[in-house]
C-alpha cells in the first residue's frame, strides 16, 4: 500500500506492508535509490504494519519493487501502474 503526503515541491511516499508478510526484512528498491537493497528498509509501526517513507520530487515517475529475505522480489498491487517487472508510481 502507498500513502502520500504533499509537501511544498515534493511528495512523501510511505510504502506500507503487513508486519509479517513476507517474513523477514524487506526493503523498497527503486530508481530513487539506485536500486540499492537495504537503503530503504521497512520498519515496524505501532499499527501492526511496517513502513518506510521516501521523499520524491513532485510531478515525477519512479519504478520500484520490494526485496525480501531470500532474494524474493515482488511488486506493489496498489502501485499507480506496472511496467514489466516493476511497479510504477506517479507523484
What are the residue boundaries of the structural domains of the chain, listed by start? Answer: 2-90
Of the chain, the end-to-end C-alpha distance in Å amounts to 15
- The pLDDT assigned to 37 comes to 94
Query: Would you give the DSSP letter of residue 76?
Result: -
- Indicate if the pLDDT at residue 85 is higher than 90: no
pTM of the model: 0.92
Task: Give the count of beta carbons closer than 10 Å to the beta carbon of residue 8.
Answer: 5
> How does strand 86-90 pair with strand 61-68?
antiparallel
CA dihedral 46, 71, 41, 77 (to 10 degrees): -70
DSSP secondary structure letter of residue 32: G
| pLDDT given for residue 10 in this prediction | 93
User: How would residue 84 be classed by pLDDT, with cut points 50, 70 and 90?
Assistant: confident
Model pLDDT for residues 34-59, shown as the tens digit of each residue: 999 999 999 999 999 999 999 999 99
Q: Which CATH superfamily is domain 2-90 in?
A: Immunoglobulins (2.60.40.10)
Share of the chain above pLDDT 70, in %: 100
Amino acid at each position: 500500500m502507498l500513502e502520500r503526503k504533499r509537501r511544498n515541491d515534493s511528495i512523501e511516499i510511505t510504502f506500507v506492508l503487513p508486519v509479517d508478510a513476507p517474513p523477514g526484512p524487506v526493503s523498497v528498491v527503486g530508481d530513487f535509490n539506485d536500486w540499492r537493497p537495504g537503503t530503504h528498509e521497512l520498519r515496524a509501526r505501532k499499527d501492526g504494519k511496517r513502513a518506510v517513507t521516501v521523499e520524491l520530487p513532485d510531478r515525477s515517475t519512479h519504478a520500484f519493487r520490494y526485496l525480501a529475505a531470500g532474494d524474493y522480489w515482488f511488486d506493489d498491487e496498489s502501485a499507480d501502474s506496472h511496467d514489466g517487472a516493476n511497479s510504477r508510481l506517479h507523484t
